[in-house]
Amino acid sequence: MTIKIGIFGAGKLAHAIVEEVQASNVNEFLVVWMVDKGEMIPDSDIDVAIDASSADAVESHIDWAIRKEIPFVIATTGWDITDLAARIGEKTGVLVSPNFSFAVAFMLRIASQLARFADWYSDGEIAIFEHHHSTKKDSPSGTAKALVRAIVSSSTRYVGWSASGVENCVKDKIPIASLRAGTETGVHEILFDAPHEQFSMTHRARDRRVFAAGALKAAQWIIGRKGLFGMEDVLNDLFS
């Protein structure tokens, strides 16, 4: 069965999703609608919607998906809705991720392990670096914040993050250094620095199509499910 998709947004990621669908040799997906900011997708002809728009538009799109009971994938970053799970309930399925690379989903899993290691190896400190193109609006990136959440959820030592810099250095917060320059698609590095050794793990996205492919897999996965999910849930299915 061909999955019919509606896309909120007409930017780089939205076009990458369309290109990924067009490049496929199988008729697994069909993009029926791609609407720009301020427009709503006609819901009668789609199986799932993907949000690749802007942070200020996400809430209205979520309300639309809940009202129409349409499965929804949110690939937009820079927004925060604390009661999202309660809003969704069992009305529809919503999958949220700041990054749709499966390698990054795996990196998040390793980050939680690093948190426990850092609790034990107390002489070392964790830090995060991220670099994106000069037109990216949010800073730090949603992925950097997700890495912090993965660490904090498994750590007895860290409680959050702070912007990198001597004046912001707090022992129980992970420093994040952000760079906005050039055309970089996305680089994320976790660093563990100890007096006599250093460990680092880096993910570099070479092409935006890696996010498009992941978003399409997420769209396929969320159909038929109810509640709030993330890419870690999709990854868990792959490992089960």
Read off the pLDDT of residues 42-92 as tens digits, 9 standing for 90 and up: 866 899 999 999 999 999 999 999 999 999 999 998 899 999 999 999 999
Q: What is the pLDDT of residue 56?
A: 93
Topology (CATH level 3) of domain 102-204:
Dihydrodipicolinate Reductase; domain 2 (3.30.360)
Q: What is the pLDDT of residue 167?
A: 66
| This prediction's pTM | 0.88
Say if CB 147 and CB 111 are below 8 A apart: yes
Q: Kindly state the average pLDDT of the residues 3-21.
A: 93
Q: Is the pLDDT of residue 99 over 70?
A: yes
Please indicate whether residue 136 is annotated as part of the active site. Answer: yes
Question: Which tokens belong to 229?
Answer: 């999910």
Please tell me which residue in 68, 136, 173, 226 is annotated as part of the active site.
Answer: 136
Q: Is the pLDDT of residue 218 over 70?
A: yes
CATH code of domain 3-100+208-239? 3.40.50.720
Q: For 128-169, how does the pLDDT look when each residue is reduced to its tens digit (9 = 90+)?
A: 999 999 999 889 999 999 999 999 999 999 999 998 876 667
CB contact set of 51 (below 8 Å; sequence gap of 6+) = 8, 9, 57, 58, 61, 72, 73, 74, 75, 76
Q: What is the mean pLDDT of the chain?
A: 93
Q: What is the pLDDT of residue 26?
A: 63
Please tell me which residue in 61, 131, 132, 145 is annotated as part of the active site.
Answer: 132
Q: For 220-229, how does the pLDDT look when each residue is reduced to its tens digit (9 = 90+)?
A: 999 999 999 9
**238: confidence class by pLDDT, cuts 50, 70, 90:** confident
d(CA 101, CA 208) in angstroms, rounded, equals: 10
Q: What is the pLDDT of residue 23?
A: 87
Please indicate whether residue 61 is annotated as part of the active site. Answer: no
Distances (CA, A) of 131 to 100, 164, 177, 215: 17, 13, 8, 21
Domain boundaries of the chain, sorted by first residue: 3-100+208-239, 102-204
Q: What is the pLDDT of residue 166?
A: 62
Say if CB 100 and CB 231 are below 8 A apart: yes
Q: Is the pLDDT of residue 40 over 90?
A: no
